[in-house]
Amino acid sequence: MKARQLIVGILAWALVLPALAANRDDVPMAGNLQAEGRQAERRAVPIMLVFTSPFCVYCDRVKAQYLGPMVADPAYRDKIIIRQIEAGGDRALIGFDGRRTTHGAYAASQKIVMVPTIKVVDAQGRELAEPIVGFLTPDFYFGYIQDAMNAGLEKMRQRPGADDPR
């Protein structure tokens, strides 16, 4: 009987673990911020950069509960571009200025000292809202994200020549 319970338990985890791992990767990694900036400019939307670390449980929670669902929701496609940057990581990155760098070097240049940190920026990487540093009160966290996104969206759409896709 115990062997059967063990097998059932292993099978249950085999079904659950891939779903949990998938949530970690729902927020696309940044690769070319200059190209993302051109897209943001064309669409008149801000870019939300979430600075993370691979072993940060709070980062995983922010991605799984808030940002991953935003990336998957078509309603946000006309409002924001969301990209992940791994602070301390050596993944290649092209910055907003077109120069080659790494995720870690870019995070250091942005003075990221705590993860998760969320920054809402324009097409050139200039901040449009107050950064969200750390994992604040979970009950209000999505409100902070929405406020930052909306502040950035408003500033992007107020610019001369910005096409409002609404």
pLDDT tens for each residue of 128-155: 999 999 997 889 999 999 999 999 999 9
With 60 as the cut, is the pLDDT of residue 15 above it?
no
Query: In which band, very low, low, confident or very high, does the pLDDT at 19 lie, cut at 50, 70 and 90?
Result: very low
Count the Cβ atoms, other than its own, within 10 Å of residue 94: 17
* pLDDT at res. 137: 86
Instruction: Show the DSSP H helices in 48-159 as ranges.
Output: 57-62, 68-72, 103-109, 138-157
Length of the chain measured in residues: 166
Secondary structure E strands in the chain: 47-52, 81-86, 92-94, 100-102, 117-121, 132-133
Domain 2-157 of CATH type 3.40.30.10:
yes
What are the residue boundaries of the structural domains of the chain, listed by start? Answer: 2-157
Per-residue pLDDT reduced to its tens digit, 92-128: 999 999 999 999 999 999 999 999 999 999 999 999 9
With 50 as the cut, is the pLDDT of residue 163 above it?
yes
Per-residue pLDDT reduced to its tens digit, 28-76: 999 999 999 999 999 999 999 999 999 999 999 999 999 999 999 999 9
User: How far apart (Å, rounded) are the C-alpha atoms in residues 20 and 23?
Assistant: 5
User: How far apart (Å, rounded) are the C-alpha atoms in residues 47 and 145?
Assistant: 12
Query: In which band, very low, low, confident or very high, does the pLDDT at 24 lie, cut at 50, 70 and 90?
Result: very low
